[in-house]
């Protein structure tokens, strides 16, 4: 249902609500479109603190949200690191017109969504990430101890592999990193092919990446300007495929606990209700960045965000990292911040309120409380009840709010190269 904040300025995009009207997206007369399914692997247990650490590491955020609370009666589960080396995918491309679909699988209870990518004819499960612009893949040049029992790219098995002069080094806030040389090969996603896609071929990878057995690499879908390759930025897969698309767009439909999809070159109007609303993107920092300067909790009044009025849409981040002001207001009175897990926790029996956030200066999206209950994390030693971890957490005073999968799962999202802009709709 609609959450009406202002008849003039705001119309919510609730989980089941219609979107407000927006300017039409005008298709260009090109030749291709293709789909990439995003499928959830169900054999994982979500770990909220690990998801938060991963997001902080990615953006170099140092936590400052410490409190005196360190719940003595909170006991974390011991089995949060269970893993599996299996993965599944679907590729329905017919190989003729470079159209098709590929799965995007949610793993660890929506901690991460992965999709199959063909590199030199080898199918590798990777993570699509709109919050970065590097493509790199785990490979056979790494020590056997790092890549055993997982499917990685082997240059010697590709007749189209080419070495590229240059290097790459990705370093994160906690000094985790991947580094090595560059390569180019035929990369196919959903049947659409880039013949000479440049990507990183790491020879050294920190433990945090090796321990993530859900994904064997990253496909960056941010703007090419923040590609970190040396001697200079290299085009992303999206930038390379744009000239061949019917429309220079890709869409994301993430589904909690199920199969979602990316679709390139086409906006499937059967995937959302009502009309799309469009917001302007500021790409100067290389992100899909937009104004997000107001919020409301449940049926409460609209409040202005004073410290971090902008956000980015990031498929590579599991959680929704908001201004400390928003996090404190959202959890006030019913949840607690715990130093031991660096985030807000609460009884799993709690009835979570919805969170509404501004998208642009005219519209608002509502995230259902059910999506904000991220994962079970432990037990209360006093009551014996189960403790859960919030899918909305503080960005610890960072200059950006990072709207990851918790936000994106509530919406149908269009990433439009023109403008550029973002389109939001209520998913069917």
Could you tell me if 377 and 47 are in contact, meaning their C-beta atoms sit under 8 angstroms apart? Answer: yes
**Distance from the Cα of residue 171 to its chain's centroid:** 19
| Candidates 134, 185, 314, 416; catalytic one | 314
- For residue 244, give every residue at least 6 positions away whose Cβ sits within 8 Å of its Cβ, in sequence order, or none: 30, 31, 32, 98, 192, 265
**Distance from the Cα of residue 157 to its chain's centroid:** 31
Could you tell me if 135 and 197 are in contact, meaning their C-beta atoms sit under 8 angstroms apart? Answer: yes
b/e 322-360 (16+ beta carbons within 10 angstroms → b) = bbbbbbebbbeeebebbeebbbbbbebeeebbbbbbbbb
Q: Tell me the two tokens of residue 123.
A: 């199918």
314 classed as catalytic: yes
- For residue 300, give every residue at least 6 positions away whose Cβ sits within 8 Å of its Cβ, in sequence order, or none: none
Could you tell me if 361 and 9 are in contact, meaning their C-beta atoms sit under 8 angstroms apart? Answer: yes
| Candidates 91, 127, 129, 239; catalytic one | 129
Could you tell me if 271 and 428 are in contact, meaning their C-beta atoms sit under 8 angstroms apart? Answer: yes
Could you tell me if 119 and 135 are in contact, meaning their C-beta atoms sit under 8 angstroms apart? Answer: no
Which residues have a catalytic role annotated? 129, 314
């Amino acid at each position: 249902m609609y959450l009406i904040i202002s008849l003039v300025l705001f119309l919510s995009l609730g989980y089941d609500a219609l979107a407000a009207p927006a300017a039409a997206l005008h298709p260009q007369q090109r030749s291709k479109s293709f789909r990439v399914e995003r499928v959830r692997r169900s054999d994982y247990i979500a770990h909220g603190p690990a998801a938060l650490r991963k997001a902080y590491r990615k953006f170099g955020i140092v936590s400052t949200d410490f409190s005196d609370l360190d719940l003595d009666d909170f006991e974390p589960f011991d089995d949060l690191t269970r893993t599996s080396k299996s993965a599944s995918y679907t590729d329905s491309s017919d190989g003729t017109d470079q159209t098709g679909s590929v799965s995007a699988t949610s793993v660890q209870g929506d901690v991460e969504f992965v999709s199959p990518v063909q590199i030199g004819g080898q199918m590798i499960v990777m993570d699509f990430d709109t919050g970065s612009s590097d493509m790199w893949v785990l490979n056979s040049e790494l020590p056997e101890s790092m890549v055993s029992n997982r499917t990685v790219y082997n240059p010697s098995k590709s007749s189209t592999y080419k070495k590229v002069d240059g290097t790459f080094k990705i370093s994160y806030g906690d000094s985790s990193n991947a580094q090595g040389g560059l390569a180019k090969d035929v990369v196919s996603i959903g049947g659409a092919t880039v013949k000479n896609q440049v990507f990183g071929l790491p020879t050294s990878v920190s433990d945090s990446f090796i321990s993530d057995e859900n994904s064997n690499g990253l496909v960056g879908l941010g703007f090419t300007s923040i590609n970190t390759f040396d001697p200079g930025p290299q085009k992303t897969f999206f930038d390379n495929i744009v000239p061949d698309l019917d429309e220079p767009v890709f869409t994301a439909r993430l589904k909690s606990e199920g199969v979602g999809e990316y679709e390139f070159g086409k906006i499937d109007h059967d995937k959302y209700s009502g009309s799309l609303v469009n917001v302007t993107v500021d790409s100067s920092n290389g992100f899909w960045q937009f104004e997000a300067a107001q919020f409301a909790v449940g049926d409460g009044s609209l409040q202005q965000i004073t410290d971090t009025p902008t956000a980015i849409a990031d498929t590579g981040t599991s959680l929704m990292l908001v201004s400390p002001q928003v996090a404190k207001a959202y959890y006030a009175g019913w949840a607690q911040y715990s130093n031991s897990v660096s985030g807000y926790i609460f009884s799993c029996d709690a009835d979570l309120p919805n969170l509404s956030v501004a998208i642009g200066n005219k519209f608002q999206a509502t995230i259902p409380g059910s999506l904000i209950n991220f994962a079970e994390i432990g037990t209360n030693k006093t009551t014996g009840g189960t403790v859960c971890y919030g899918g909305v957490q503080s960005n610890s005073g960072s200059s950006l709010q990072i709207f990851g999968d918790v936000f994106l799962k509530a919406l149908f999202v269009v990433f439009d190269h023109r403008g550029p802009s973002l389109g939001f709709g209520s998913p069917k």
